[in-house]
């Protein structure tokens, strides 16, 4: 059995407004930078459908924490400090996921910028997982038999 992507689902996800993306992960979208941040994660995850076969989607995107999804989440926060803070403030990342405080990399010696990057990474990964799972649920058999 060979799986295929559902074009309608991909189009729906690609067309989701940023406030819908924000509601997927219970964050806000109060700045242009926050809008661009969330949209970039959405677009990158949908873009993986061009690179990864539907048969490999679950293994390589949903389950493989160190793979493509991690890279997307890791690269989502902007490299420029001003834009990073606009993303952080615009998503209200300062109120998001208190479990981040328990992570080893967010301790008393961690810089505020690193803490902001960590929170934004967690938001990006949660959004990526949400979208990847929707894509996974929409996969269907293309009707051919894999011999």
Within a domain: 146: no
pLDDT of residue 30: 96
CB atoms within 10 A of CB 63: 12
In a domain, 27, yes or no: yes
Task: Please give the Cα distance from 101 to 21 (Å, whole number).
Answer: 24
Q: Is residue 147 part of a domain?
A: no
Q: Total domain count for the chain?
A: 1
The per-residue pLDDT for 133 is 96
Determine, yes or no, domain membership for 54: yes
pLDDT recorded at residue 1: 74
pLDDT of residue 99: 63
* 35 lies in some domain: yes
Has residue 101 been placed in a domain?
Answer: yes
Of 22, 69, 23, 75, the closest CA to residue 46 belongs to 69
Which residues constitute the domain of residue 33? 3-141
Residues of 113-124 as b/e, b for ≥16 C-beta within 10 angstroms? Answer: eebbbbbbbbbb
**pLDDT (tens digit, 0 to 9) for every residue of the chain, 147 residues total?**
789 999 999 999 999 999 999 999 999 999 999 999 999 999 999 999 999 999 999 999 988 766 899 999 999 999 999 999 999 999 999 987 656 555 555 566 678 898 899 999 999 999 999 999 999 999 988 665 544
């Amino acid at each position: 059995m060979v799986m295929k992507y559902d074009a309608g689902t991909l189009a729906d996800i690609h067309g989701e407004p940023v406030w819908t993306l924000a509601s997927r992960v219970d964050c806000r979208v109060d700045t242009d930078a926050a809008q661009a941040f969330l949209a970039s994660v959405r677009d990158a995850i949908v873009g993986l459908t061009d690179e990864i076969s539907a048969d490999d989607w679950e293994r390589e995107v949903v389950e493989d924490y160190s793979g493509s999804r991690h890279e997307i989440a890791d690269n989502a926060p902007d490299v420029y400090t001003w834009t990073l803070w606009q993303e952080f403030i615009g998503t209200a990342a300062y109120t998001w996921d208190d479990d981040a405080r328990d992570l080893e990399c967010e301790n008393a010696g961690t810089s505020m910028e690193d803490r902001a990057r960590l929170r934004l990474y967690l938001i990006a990964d949660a959004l990526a997982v949400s979208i990847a799972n929707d894509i996974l649920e929409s996969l269907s058999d293309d009707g051919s038999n894999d011999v």
